[in-house]
Amino acid sequence: MSDGHTPWPDERSQERPQEEWSHVPVLLQEAVQALQVRPSGLYVDGTFGRGGHARAILQGLGPQGRLVALDRDPQAVAAAHAIADARLTVCHASFADLAQVLQGLGLESVDGVLLDLGVSSPQIDNPARGFSFRHDAPLDMRMDTTRGQTAAEFLAQADEHEIARIIRDYGEERFAHPIAKAVVARRTSGRPLVRTRELAEVVARAVRTREPGQDPATRTFQALRIHVNGELDALEHGLRAALEHLGPQGRLAVISFHSLEDRLVKQFIARESREVIDRRAPFAPPPPLRLRAIARARPSPGEIAANPRARSAILRVAERTGDAPA
């Protein structure tokens, strides 16, 4: 679970023992209700995290129901395997690979898909993961620690233009170019950035002004996290795979935490809910709509008070129309 367009706001959590790195699911009842869980249904939780949504879905399933839970984080997968429930299938995979996962399980059609996007509280609260500028730790930021390039490796290799583009596009940071220039200057001096606090200090010197209450490094850390994990590409792939595998009246529920994610989800649902006229055959009947927008929800004031990290969340729900997947 990440935080919003204003990226992760204050990260006020203090360093704690690992067993206290918990995750409070956001919009729990709203998301599970949106799926309209049937006792015999087949559902996908594309981001298990620590299992808050998954456990609620399992509570709605009968003996014949089934839940497929995915997560790219090995620690989340280990937490999922700790649930002793024959109805639960756990896969170490990104929801970007949903189509391959379902194919491997011999499944063609599902009744609902839930995606809870971004970084989870255990990831951001564990200093060793390198997501937070509040702790001095290796500059990692990978959700899947078994593969891929770390944030430090990216900053050690990318040129100034590429670093600026990532920070500008994914962090919506107006000081992207001064930050990139400072990162490259530091690297050129023979001291590449390898720790979170080093990066935060470089950013703080490069950013001239900042919104009250927001750390200068907030947007840069968000941008690097999104890039390192390919989050927006994964979301596009996951949304397409979900649509292709939802059965009739199957539900898609997506919880987003910043404007880049929510914009993709909103545009995807709108595009698949709109009639498209083929200009090459203007009098031909348009293809049937594949989605119908159902609902949009935000956390209540009570939920935000209990869990401030929920404040920028938005849930969008759509329903599959037409025939079942082939």
Query: Using one digit for the tens of pLDDT, what is the confidence trace for 107-164?
Result: 999 999 999 998 888 888 888 899 999 889 999 999 999 999 999 999 999 999 999 9
Query: Using one digit for the tens of pLDDT, what is the confidence trace for 235-293?
Result: 999 999 999 999 999 999 999 999 999 999 999 999 999 755 445 655 555 556 799 99
Q: How confident is the model at residue 11 (pLDDT cuts 50, 70, 90)?
A: very low
pLDDT (0 to 100) of residue 287: 58
Q: Which residues pair with 92 in a beta bridge?
A: 71
Alpha-carbon dihedral sign for residues 117, 166, 74, 9: negative
pLDDT (0 to 100) of residue 12: 30
Continuous segment of H or E residues that includes residue 304? helix 301-306
| 208, pLDDT greater than 90 | no
For 87, the 3-state DSSP assignment is coil
- Domain 18-121+231-320: which topology? Rossmann fold (3.40.50)
Structure-block tokens of residue 275: 């009639």
| 18, pLDDT greater than 50 | no
Write the class of the CATH domain 145-228. Answer: mainly alpha
List of residues 6+ apart from 50 with CB closer than 8 A: 22, 23, 25, 76, 79, 120, 122
Q: What percent of the chain has pLDDT over 90?
A: 79
2's torsion region: left (phi>0), alpha (psi -120 to 50) or beta?
beta
Stated pTM of the model: 0.88
Domain ranges, ordered by start, for the chain: 18-121+231-320, 145-228
Q: Report the DSSP pairing between strands 42-45 and 110-116.
A: parallel
List of residues 6+ apart from 156 with CB closer than 8 A: 187, 192, 193
Measured CA to CA, the distance from residue 182 to residue 160 in angstroms comes to: 9
List of residues 6+ apart from 287 with CB closer than 8 A: 276
